[in-house]
Structure 1
Amino acid sequence: MNNSDTNLTNRLPLEQLAKLGLDREKVEKLPQEVKEKLINGEVTPLMEVTLPARNGMVISLPLKLQLAADKDGNPTLIAYPVQRELSVDRNNELRLSQQEL
């Protein structure tokens, strides 16, 4: 890993990323483009994270990430889970039909 990769990694909220199963080692292996998008506050490409559930199972979740500032100006991580289709219950809640999607 070159020095610019290390600098980018050090600027990322590693503690917040670790909550999503992305420890420092995994963050260092992220493509340069993904790290740059996070640092610049852009939404990352779709990635898959693996999280331990309370019941001991492991959940894989596709999501996109974005780094933003909270109300005090501190960096905060936003995760956008991605689903292939909206669930029928959610469609009803949003008053959508399959034809509209």
Structure 2
Amino acid sequence: MCRGMRSFPPIFLLEPPGTNVAVGDVLRAAEWLLQRWPEDYIGTPLHRAAQIACLRALEDEGDALDVRAALIAAAEEAGIFEGHVPPISRREPRKRRR
């Protein structure tokens, strides 16, 4: 369980009273969806889809980028999506010529 990639480029969610909180891994996303989600948006189709994406990733049947996409969609619906950080390039730095 949890053998695959569990982190993703962070997104920022709005937490009352106006604090931006970074969420960048499946466990933190699941915590938000289960414990900190705005009450009026609990159980919507997008909220449920994000929960299912988390469960699939935790069972190694899905990946963290699917969780990120589902979390963004649900957070936009709930009005708590504050933005994201673009994915970091995984290129090796160029070596200097001497």
Task: Give the TM-score category using the shorter length.
Answer: under 0.3
Larger radius of gyration: 1
Q: TM-score, normalised by structure 1?
A: 0.26
Q: Which has the higher contact order (CA 8 A, sep 6+)?
A: 2
